[in-house]
Every structure is written in structure tokens, then in C-alpha cells.
Chain A
Amino acid sequence: MDSHQHEFQQLTRLLHLKRFEVPPPGFERRFLAGVMTRIEMEQEWAGQSWWQRAASALTWQRGLAVANGVALAGVAFLAVATFHVAHTVVNEEEEVQIYAALPLPGIPTARTGENRITGDGLLFADASAAGFSSRPGAPTHSLVIPVAESSQPSSTVSEDSSAPSWLFDPPSKDQRKVGSPRFILPRASRSAKTDR
């Protein structure tokens, strides 16, 4: 260590000079007063209950800031809610118009007043003729009714098997009795959507 001391002798003497760096005049008095003031404040703070601390912390500027924040949050919430509702209504109307304009690919359409039965045993009927279309100007959708094989009238049977099988789950033979009519619109719409 002695050799090190000698090696760094000049440096350590220079570092000793930093002892002469002193704070500005009056520092000691101000420093001590500052520490004791902060300690007194801590003591007062510790003696208060939580609601007194909250009340002392809540100045009118902070209260104003909190009120502004709450008002802004309310306006933002209303804006988001209004936009969401309006956007939902527009979307529904757009969907109806789009689906009405789109042709349903691969689905044999029924001309007005004409019914056909496919090879899957489904009866394509004119929905407007059946009284399902009530809106003026609304498109005419095909109505699909599962029919029993025995009920197929030979004169009007069309052995059109061009309808894609993926559109429907063909009913089993047991199910191929006269059932309740079902619209193909939802399935066809979905396929149209995916085609896009």
C-alpha cells in the first residue's frame, strides 16, 4: 500500500483540495431550518386522519382538474357510445342492401310463381308468392322446403342437381318428410360474404 500511496501522492494531494469546496454562505443555517421544517410537516401529517390528509391535499386547483377530467371522460364515453350505435344501424342496413344485390352463386333461383325440386329433395319456392316478402322493393328470396320423396309431383319435378352440396346439410331420408320451411338466405349470405 505504501508504494501505492507514493504512486498516487500527487493525485491524493489534488483530491485533498476538494475539501475546500464549500457551499454558498448561509448554507448551514438554511439547511438546518429546511430539515427541521420538513420534520415538523411530517409530524403534522402523521397526526392527521386520512380524511384530513385528503382534504388538505385537495386544493381548489386540484378539484377543478378532477372535475375537468370527469367531464372529459363523460364526453368521450358518450361519443363512443353514440358512434357505436350509429355504426351498428348503418351496418345492418348496408348488409341488407348488399345481400339483396348479390346473386347467390350456384343456387338455382326460382322465377316468380315457379317452384322446383332439386335432387336433394328440396323444394325451391318463390318466397314472395308464399307471402314472406313484405317490404316493398325487397328482393325475392328463394324459399326452401324439405319435401318427402313421395310427395314429389312428377310433372313439376326438376332433376336439377346443380345446387352445391356444401350449401346444405342434406336431410336424411327419415327427415325428408314435409317439414317447416327454412330460408336459405343466411347460408347463402355467408357464402357470398366469404366469396368477397
Chain B
Amino acid sequence: MEPNHPLTEAPTARLAEVDDRTLVARAQLGDDSSYEELVRRYQQRIYGLCYHLTSNHEDATDLAQDAFVKAWKALRTFKGDSSFYTWVYRIAYNSVLNHLKQRRHRTPHLSLDDLDFNAEHSPDLVELISDKTPRREAGLIELQKRLNEAMLRLSPEHRAVVTMHDIQGLPHDEIARIMECNPGTVRSRLFYARQQLQAWLSDIFP
């Protein structure tokens, strides 16, 4: 580490205002607080990807932490061709794929307590369940359970596309960079996955 390097002289209190590229450059020079800020920024999203792909909180936490540690180890090789976010996302996605291949027959643990209370006030949810079930809470839990089960029936690649696009809101091009495939492949996978989910949840969508 070079103590007098200008990149390392920025006060750590203002790290939240620093852009990713600068933080990465500082972290490459050995500034751990910059890397900590990067982890803080993206931990929710990386954890979300791992959680929606594994449906298991403990596995998702381990895999997301692994992804950040692997990224830190390989930080010196990061050239900045893509954003740090895309790069870490790709590392996490590959880690989850390997994990799912190794534990193909493991029964996933679906934690129904993980749903945020704010979900009950979502207009989407209210519209979906208010006039269909007499008890909203039971309907909410049942809906989440059915959706998670249907998601788990998808292949990991199709589940990843649905997670990144429909849940996390990433654009096709970004997903294509993460999955290292064509945007057309992403679109076709998304269409097929939606078709499958719609068929499996046909009783919810008459």
C-alpha cells in the first residue's frame, strides 16, 4: 500500500459519495474501507440473487459472502471493462450455479417468515388476493409458497433470468453480460420461464 497515494487520502466519512470506480481503485491499492463500502452498497442485491436462486437463507448468506471474498481476492485482476456491480454479480451467479449442481437433490428450505410487512400494502398484492381469499394473511403465505415452489421447478438458468429481470429489475443487456450470453438468449429464456410459471400457477391466473 502506498500511504501518500491521492486515492487513499480521501476521508472515509465521505465514502458513500464516492463512485464505484474510485472505490475499486482504492481497494486495489489496499484500502479495505473502500471495499467495505462496495460490499455495503451491493450486499442486498447479491444476497437477493443468491436467495431467489437457492430459496435458502443460510445458503444465500454463505454464497453471497463467498462472492465478495472471491471478488476481493481477484480485485487486482479487475480491469474495469464492466462495472464492479456486474462483475460481482457474475461471480455470485457462477458460485450459485456450482452450488446448485453440487446439491441438486437437497430439499430447499422456504422461509415464509421472510416476507416484509410492507408487502401487504402493495397494490399489486392487494389486487391479487383481496377478492380471492377471505383471509388475506393466509392468502399471502399461500401465494408466496406456490410461487416459490414454481420457481424452484425452473432450471437454474431460467430462474436466474426471472430473478434478475422480473424481481430485481435488471435490463436484458445487463443480464446478458452477467450470464455471458446474448441478449436474445436472455429474452428467449425469460419468455420460456414465464410460460412455465404461468402454466404451473394456472389456478391463480384463470
Contacts and interface: CB of A to CB of B under 8 A. Distances in A.
B155 interface: no
B167 A16 contact: yes
Interface in A1-53: 1, 4, 7-8, 10-24, 27-28, 31-32, 34-36, 38-39, 42
Contacts of A10: 128, 204-205
B72 interface: yes
A42 B114 contact: no
B162 interface: yes
A59 to B, nearest CB: 23
Nearest 4 CB-CB pairings of A with B: A20-B119, A15-B166, A20-B116, A13-B124
Among A10, A12, A17, A22, the most chain B Cβ lie within 10 Å of the Cβ of A17
B36 to A, nearest CB: 6
Interface of B: 32, 35-36, 39-40, 43-44, 47, 51-52, 57, 60-61, 64-65, 68-69, 72-73, 114-116, 118-119, 122, 124-125, 127-128, 143-144, 147, 162, 166-168, 187, 191, 194, 197-198, 201, 204-205
A36 B33 CA distance: 9
Interface residue SS majority, chain A: helix
Given A20-B115, A21-B115, 6 more contacts: A7-B198, A11-B166, A13-B127, A15-B147, A17-B147, A20-B118
A17 B122 contact: yes
17 contacts: A1-B187, A8-B194, A10-B128, A10-B204, A11-B197, A14-B124, A14-B128, A15-B147, A16-B124, A18-B167, A19-B168, A23-B57, A23-B61, A28-B44, A31-B61, A35-B43, A35-B68
B204 A14 contact: yes
A19 B167 contact: yes
- Most chain A beta-carbon contacts within 10 A, residue among B64, B124, B201: B124
A18 B147 contact: yes
Contacts of A13: 124, 127-128
B167 to A, nearest CB: 5
A31 B43 contact: yes
A1 B144 CA distance: 27
Given A15-B147, A31-B65, A22 B114 contact: yes
